[in-house]
Amino acid sequence: MERSRTVKRKLFCAALGWLAGIALCGHAPNLYVMIAAAGIFVPAAVFTLRESPRRRYFTAAALVAAGMMLSAARLGWYENHVVRPLEDCSGSEVVMRGIVTDLRGYENGRRFTLRGRIEGSGVTTSVTFKAVGRNISVGDEAAVRCQVSTPQNSLTFDKQEYDRCNGVFLEGIGEPRVRLLKKQRDPFIGSIKRIMERSVAKIREQLPEQDGAFLTAILCSDRSALTAESRSAVYRAGLGHLFAVSGTHVVILCSFIGALLDLLFCPARLRSAVMMLFCLSFAVFSGCTPSVVRACIMMSLCEAGGLFDRQNDSPTALGLAAMLITARCPYAMFSLSFMLSFTAAFAIGAVSPAICRRRIKNGTARNAAAVMAVNTLTAPICVLYFSEVSLISAAANLIMIPFCSVCLWLCFLYILTGGVLTPLLAAAGLAARVILKVCSLITASRLSFAGTYFRPQMLYIAVASALVFAACAFIRRQRESVILMLAAYLTLIGGWFAIDRLPKSNRLTVYPAKYGYTAVIERGDEVLIFDSGGHYSNAYSAAGLAERRHPNRIYLYTPTVNQKAYDHYKKELPRIDGCCSPAQPYGADFARFEGKSLEVTVDGKLLVFGRDTLTIGDRRYSSGGFTDISVFRL
């Protein structure tokens, strides 16, 4: 046991230093971080060699400093030998040879992702191109000649930073010239992707309603068939992580596979090997998202411990997984998926067991503590990145995760049997229908979720609760730690609930678009969205802003009848009351159409929204004059 604890301390401390080094390099030059880390490492290493009661603390400090130096050096190498050579290719025509890893359709056609080496730069990367021809499939080797550029940002979405977290720095422009070199050069990837496509097609064929859409969403993160109402209900219940195909799926499916192997009396070592192969297959099946890769690495390490008769330790596996993922692409640390996944895993694998220790033996109580730990420690991230937060997440997860586990087990067994046993899929569909119904019922009330309109205040409460919760792991007295844990969680939920009920000021937000603009008027418990061009380019941003206010009514106004624009907004805003136009002038009582201009009166101030102009009081603006998101207090 002592040997196992020593290994845990060393690897976990090294991982903390590794991640801290990457984070610090975002605010200071790499060389300065390395010098500062070296200044900590040298004296800590000297004191480590001495016999002292505090020797373990100096050892931990030395490992943290060593991890910081290594990560700063790795990030510097990555920027010089990968990022800059790829960015230098922007605007030029390149020749790339590699394996097709993804092929899917979008609104403007089909696109495929090629992972391989770019000639000239000598860098291996992933680039997405328009699909040309129908002879390309996942797993094929191809050579592509095309002009490339760095990802282009929009006003409301930083695509360049989003792609950097995935290790992508270029995208194809125009029609590429594609030459197929070898069919199924990588049969493993191709077969896994074909299984996924056939599985989704069969599920949707057998269950065309929302229960089938829910099954495909939790199985492979395909949410395209879900309605806005279903998607919103699941997210507001705190079960949105099911759509991300995260570590929860890996744990559920691995437990199911393990149970099947136990029924077959599979030898221990063969069982471990099969489980490791399944983790690799599922990572490819789900698209290799950071959360799934983290969970698969941790599960594989657990099974590898069985192969070599080693004891498993969650913090050790978590630290190694973090280092492996960020070693390939250091920017992955700043992705939302990585932050949520590793924070949740740290809460389950380290904080919750430390609070419970051996004194809380009841399984339900331990699960409740784990769920509260996850919700509390991830709360600051949720407030920063989401427009809404769930207030019933802990209870919903404890109640609904067993039903979700049944759905995944039955779906996976249906896939393993080749889609022959349709009663299995019917049973999974019934469980999915129950989940959607329960989520709709429990989120129908405004008591179940809160908007993040008062983001700074909610963030302060979230950070304070998370720090108290983490401190409970170091308190040796069990009773006091449990009381503090419950107090921190109740303070978090109660504080969010109270802040969301504070009176909100009226304001106007203008989002420029390529054609016209999008205006969001927030007044009391109502929100008006005016899309001047009907091109719905800002639908996602307007929806997020509207949900932050937590309104009772949401209206969409367009100068002309535009069913396509309304349908697009409806996907983002399930609670939208209707699309209003001069031909259909119903809507809020403080807004009316005069010709094709919308007149809105807020606190005695007249706002006039036209197709190309915007008038606020006695000031008139041109839509072309807005080059950034503008906010007006009314």
Residues 98-109 have a mean pLDDT of: 76
Residue 522: strand pairing partners: 507, 527
Dig out the tokens for 78 from the structure.
């990555």
Per-residue confidence (pLDDT) for residue 389, from 0 to 100: 92
pLDDT in tens, 337-380: 888 888 888 888 888 888 887 667 777 788 888 889 999 999 99
By the 8 A CB rule, do 100 and 140 touch? yes
Phi, psi of 551 (to 5 degrees): -80, 165
> CA nearest 13: which of 52, 57, 43, 55?
57
The hierarchical CATH code for the domain 89-185 is 2.40.50
Per-residue confidence (pLDDT) for residue 285, from 0 to 100: 66
Residue 446: pLDDT above 70?
A: yes
Gap between the terminal Cα atoms of the chain? 65
> By mean pLDDT, which of 189-203, 455-469, 498-512 is the weakest?
189-203
pLDDT in tens, 471-509: 888 887 777 888 888 999 999 999 999 999 999 999 999
Per-residue confidence (pLDDT) for residue 489, from 0 to 100: 92
pLDDT in tens, 23-58: 999 888 989 999 999 999 999 888 887 777 777 788
Q: Which residue has the tokens 């990837």?
A: 189
User: C-alpha distances in angstroms, 423 versus 188, 201, 246, 477, 583?
Assistant: 29, 17, 27, 51, 50
pLDDT in tens, 389-430: 999 998 888 888 888 888 888 887 887 777 777 888 888 888
Tell me the helices (H) and strands (E) count for the chain, helix number first: 22, 18
Residues of the chain with CATH 2.40.50: 89-185
Mean pLDDT for the chain? 84
Residues 125-151 have a mean pLDDT of: 85
Residues 129-149 have a mean pLDDT of: 85
Per-residue confidence (pLDDT) for residue 498, from 0 to 100: 94
Residues 153-160 have a mean pLDDT of: 83
Per-residue confidence (pLDDT) for residue 35, from 0 to 100: 92
> By mean pLDDT, which of 167-171, 217-221, 500-504, 527-531 is the weakest?
217-221
**Which residue did the predictor score with more confidence, 5 or 332?**
332
Per-residue confidence (pLDDT) for residue 4, from 0 to 100: 38
What's the pTM?
Answer: 0.85
Strand boundaries in 218-371, DSSP class E: none
Per-residue confidence (pLDDT) for residue 444, from 0 to 100: 83
Predicted confidence band of residue 155 (pLDDT cuts 50, 70, 90): confident
